[in-house]
Amino acid sequence: MRARAICSDLDEPDLAALRRLGRRVSLAAGQTVMWEGDDSTVVANVIAGTLKLSTSTGGGREQIVGVIYASDFIGRPFGARTPHSVTALTDAHLCLFPRSAFDHFARDHGALQHRLLRRTLDDLDRTRGWLLLLGRKNAQEKMATFLLDVSRRLQLDRTGRFELPLSRQQIADILGLTIETVSRQMSEMKRLALIAVEGRRGIRILDREKLACLAEGH
Amino acid sequence: MRARAICSDLDEPDLAALRRLGRRVSLAAGQTVMWEGDDSTVVANVIAGTLKLSTSTGGGREQIVGVIYASDFIGRPFGARTPHSVTALTDAHLCLFPRSAFDHFARDHGALQHRLLRRTLDDLDRTRGWLLLLGRKNAQEKMATFLLDVSRRLQLDRTGRFELPLSRQQIADILGLTIETVSRQMSEMKRLALIAVEGRRGIRILDREKLACLAEGH
DNA sequence: AAGCCCATTTGACAGAGGTCAATGATCGAA
DNA sequence: TTCGATCATTGACCTCTGTCAAATGGGCTT
């Protein structure tokens, strides 16, 4: 699991030094760690749990701009402001670093900085892919894309079922839709036997092929 | 102008070494430098001109995922695939590097890598901000946000006028709208005396205050 | 097992923005 | 200067998704 983390290339002494900078923090689902616009004072590694990154318009409309899984990195190194809020979707554990200490450490450790760069480049690619979804896909395409994306990121249990880490409203906030539209799309896909819905959060993908077609708009 | 470029922190010998890796390339408006999905074989610094980054759905709908100005960086270092197409919007000059040579150079030069990291973090923040625009803003808010954004990025002439580097269709492809909606929104803003439109590309912002209000949805 | 709360689903309707088509402006080439 | 081609604007209409309201049901407490 540490293999994905940014500290995975550090040797043992450096790793120990980094650990001394950080402290473990537990979060309950719903707790917000950082607020959009605040000073950027801390960064963190996610040990366990799922979190969301979000921004809002003046009028209170929210858009989720990223979903963070275990071994991901959060916060804004080398910057004065936190560009978006970070909120736990499930209970979570973080390894929290003061930003300035982390920044210094990173400057002195090329391997860490390199990891961070690669991760940031990947995030940027993924986020730009999301622009296509928000700007040019319709509700059905969005929903299909989302379900495939989540099923790829989460480990399924042996029966192919997985738990959405998000409520319908949060899915809507990711896809730029309303909760009603999300619900209608899920019902429609259930009706078409593309997915099975088990309880509020359980999903089983029945026809990955067709779902992928819908995601591309065919 | 070099102050914004990623090589701005290199000392003279390193800079000379980097320059030896690259070659100058001229582009005509409309030329595409890299295609979405292709192998990532080159990266480049933009010396002059404006370019777009874009992706498309299977069905041919296009979304512009970034606009690149002079002194920006293009291409995908440390990655096998080009995640989006890069096309010149105006005539442009690049300093083109083979990706593998650039990657090696960057690994050996912490200062360059640091610059690249900072730039990528900024890009990521900007792109995530754009998600809010695409997911949660209406056509009027999108258009107002866009005009303010461009006027901030481009130097205005003494009369406060600036040239859009983009056609109406391209603006639509940035904002996730159709060309007709973009046109209607511009006409409406002209009617409200928020902007003056001079020729196809000329814009003068008459009431920045109110435009900023519209951008926020008030 | 019953009951409650709240997330979710479903329905009816409205409006923003897309689509299609026609008209009008701008710019480069002849 | 004129022409033609392309880009942009405008209008009419329609569809998708948002809005508002009501019904349903999952999952928790008692």
- Tens of pLDDT along A2-41? 567 888 888 889 999 999 999 999 999 999 999 999 999 9
pLDDT above 90 for B153: no
- Among A55, A134, A137, select the one facing B57 at the smallest CB separation: A137
Write down the mean pLDDT value for chain A. 94
- Tens of pLDDT along B22-50? 999 999 999 999 999 999 999 999 999 99
- The long-range contacts involving B102-107, CB below 8 angstroms and separated by at least 24 positions, are B102/B21, B102/B43, B102/B77, B103/B77, B103/B78, B105/B17, B105/B18, B105/B21, B106/B77, B107/A110, B107/A114
pLDDT above 90 for B74: yes
Identify the pLDDT of residue B3: 67
φ, ψ of residue A87 to 5 degrees: the values are: -130, 140
pLDDT above 80 for A1: no
Tokens of A135: 């700007």
- Tens of pLDDT along A64-91? 999 999 999 999 999 999 999 999 999 9
Torsion of CA B165, B167, B173, B177, to 10 degrees: 120
Q: How far is the CA of B176 from the C1' of D24 (A)?
A: 36
Higher pLDDT, B204 or A3: B204
The candidate with the shortest Cα–Cα distance to A87, out of A136, A125, A135, A52, is A52
- Those of residues 65-104 in B touching chain A at CB distance below 8 A are 65-66, 76-79, 83-84
- List beta partners, residue B52: B67, B87
Report the distance separating Cα A171 and Cα B5, nearest Å. Answer: 38
Q: How far is the CA of B181 from the C1' of D4 (A)?
A: 27
Identify the pLDDT of residue A108: 94
Beta carbons of B33 and B99 less than 8 angstroms apart: no
| Interchain proximity A136–B65, CB inside 8 Å | no
Q: Which nucleotide is nearest to B177 (CA to C1')?
A: C17
Residues of B in contact with A173 (CB under 8 A): 135
Beta carbons of A95 and A42 less than 8 angstroms apart: no
| Interchain proximity A134–B137, CB inside 8 Å | no
CA dist A111 → A76, A116, A175 (Å):
18, 9, 35
Q: Is B205 helix (H, G, I), strand (E, B) or coil?
A: strand
| Interchain proximity A136–B61, CB inside 8 Å | yes
The verdict on B130 touching A (C-beta cutoff 8 Å) is yes
The pTM of the full predicted model, rounded to 2 decimals, is 0.94
φ, ψ of residue B97 to 5 degrees: the values are: -120, 140
